[in-house]
Structure 1
Amino acid sequence: MRAVWKGTIGFGTYAIPVKAYSATEEHNIPLHQVHEPDGGRVRVKWVCEVDGAEVPPTEIVKGHPVPGGDVVLLTGGDFASLIAPTTQSMDVVGFTPAEQVDPTYFARSYYLEPEPAGTKPYVLLSEALQQSGRIAIVKVTLRQRETLGALRVRDQVIVLETMLWPDEIRRPDFPFLHEDVDLRRGELRNAVSLIEDLTQDFEPGRYTDRYREALEALIQAKLDGDDVLQPTAAEQAEGVTRLLAALQRSAVEADSDPVGKAKEASGKAREARTRAKKASAKIKSRAKTS
């Protein structure tokens, strides 16, 4: 695993040096957007909606839209000038019972590994959290932005749970919440009994991603049935088109400047013609063998 953050946990008089690693990873099957007739990759271009020109990455900045259509431009220098707390410390601002923090607040999980010099205070904090039944509330800067977090222990490892700010949690307001629903005691008793009958220890290994398994099987079946395309052949055909276009441009250049560019254009045309013939022959050869 690669560390995504390095710094210290500020705990009383202790400064515990740690590294943070992402605790989760997604196992998505890579799927590209392709052109159905030939399987060629479809690429996205960044285009300015004002002049229609393609925009290079060096000219892209952030912009905040305001009423009336104006935009406030924010450059990298603007963000660098913002007053931000140090990015190398994780300050404990308090402790709270774990059950008081609703899981809705949790965003992402990170394992914290102690540096060799910080192993003892790290273990001390871990044991103290487990015995007290508390979690530590911290503030930390990740990716140049301060975020709230919680420290808890999982399998003897301290886990940082980044948290959403209170104003980022939506308040549910559904019609049924304002209705007086009449529940009979027998119905409630039966529901509780059913829950008790189905209660068991949580074993995550019992559950699998059936969609991913089905998609993997589908892809393998298509591979076994040779239901595939060869985008390289399409790329070669596109190369022939580009070479022919270059040949035509060379001819135009020769006509526009017969004295200065005649020899140069003739050489380019000859080279383009030769490359076009080779590419065309390669495509025909592949078509015969397929």
Structure 2
Amino acid sequence: MHTMWKGSIRFGLVNIPIKLHTATEDKGIHFRTLHKKCHTPISYQKFCSTCEEVVGNEDIEKGFETENGEFITVEESERKEIEQQFDASGVDILDFVKLDEIDPLYFKKSYYISPQDGGEKAYALLRSALEESKCIGIATFVLRAKQQLAALRIVDQCLVVETMHFYDEVRDVKDVPNVPERIDWSKKELSTALLLIDQLTKPFDPTAYKDEYREAMLKQISSKTTTKAKKKEPKKRATTSTDLLEALQASIDRTKPKEQKKAPARTRKKKESSS
């Protein structure tokens, strides 16, 4: 598993050298923007509407827009000077709280934590302490030039850090329009709703839910790739398309029921016997 950050967990006087690994991955289907005429990927240029010219990277600087539309520039050296005021090498545990006290609205992204060489014992000690106390740690650390608020907890004997939104990043629910305060309903309506919930209630199984949209889109892409390959001879760069087709087809085959996978074999046997 790829290591995307190295540092340490600081817990009182205990220092645990650790590595962070991304716990989730984006499997969404991403499309490139192409020129309709020749299917070449479109590239975008940085253009200044005032000077009416394309701007190179060497002529670009960062600026903060104020409420009245003015821009205050901040030099790279100024940003780095501020970044150096924060220790980017550690996850500092500030407090311990109960997990059910935190609304899931605050959670952002999950990272698995593994100990570096020599940190195994301290890692296991912190894990046991969290298990016994039934608490999670609230910590801060710097990741990708941004200070992160985080929750430190356990998932299947592995420590996990969950980045969180700061309080002022969560919008006030009172600002949501048209939320009804109170509507009268009959006891029968409520009991019927509760009965429906009861019938649909079962233990959570993450494997029971699949991205059906993604599977349908992969199937559509696979069919188009197969059709395109039949129409013309592959070019030198077609190796990538072939690899993609195999990966797409394998993804589709893996999701089919066993009966459907075996059907083509029976069909071939019937054709052979008839011939």
Task: Give the alignment's TM-score, normalised by structure 1.
Answer: 0.74
Partner of 2:197: 195
C-alpha distance after superposition, 1:128-162 (max 9, x if no partner): 21222211000111112211110011011111001
Paired residue secondary structure (1:94) = strand
Partner of 1:213: 215
In the aligned structure 1, how far is the partner of 2:16 from the partner of 2:39?
52
Q: What's the Cα RMSD here?
A: 2.3
Partner of 1:161: 162
What amino acid is aligned across from residue 199 of structure 1 in structure 2? T
What amino acid is aligned across from residue 22 of structure 1 in structure 2? T
Q: In the alignment, is residue 64 of structure 1 matched against residue 64 of structure 2? A: yes
C-alpha distance after superposition, 1:46-93 (max 9, x if no partner): 112221222222322211123554311112111012163200011110
C-alpha distance after superposition, 1:8-53 (max 9, x if no partner): 1111221011001111111133421101122111111111222122
In the aligned structure 2, how far is the partner of 1:58 from the partner of 1:157?
45
Alignment of 1:48-59 (within 5 A): 48-59=48-59
Bigger Rg over Cα: 1
Quote the offset at 1:190 in angstroms: 2.5
Partner of 2:245: none
Partner of 2:97: 96
Change in CA separation of 1:67 and 1:11 when aligned onto 2, cut-off 3 Å: closer
Quote the offset at 1:177 in angstroms: 4.0
Unpaired runs of 5+ residues, structure 2, are: 236-275
How many percent identity over aligned positions? 33
The answer to whether the 8 Å contact 1:109/1:161 transfers is yes
Question: How many residue pairs are counted as aligned between the two chains?
Answer: 233
In the aligned structure 2, how far is the partner of 1:223 from the partner of 1:175?
46
Partner of 2:32: 32
The answer to whether the 8 Å contact 1:95/1:136 transfers is yes
In the aligned structure 2, how far is the partner of 1:79 from the partner of 1:229?
54
In the aligned structure 1, how far is the partner of 2:181 from the partner of 2:207?
40
Partner of 2:19: 19
Partner of 2:226: 224
Alignment of 1:240-255 (within 5 A): none
In the aligned structure 1, how far is the partner of 2:75 from the partner of 2:186?
62
In the aligned structure 2, how far is the partner of 1:69 from the partner of 1:209?
42
The answer to whether the 8 Å contact 1:38/1:229 transfers is no
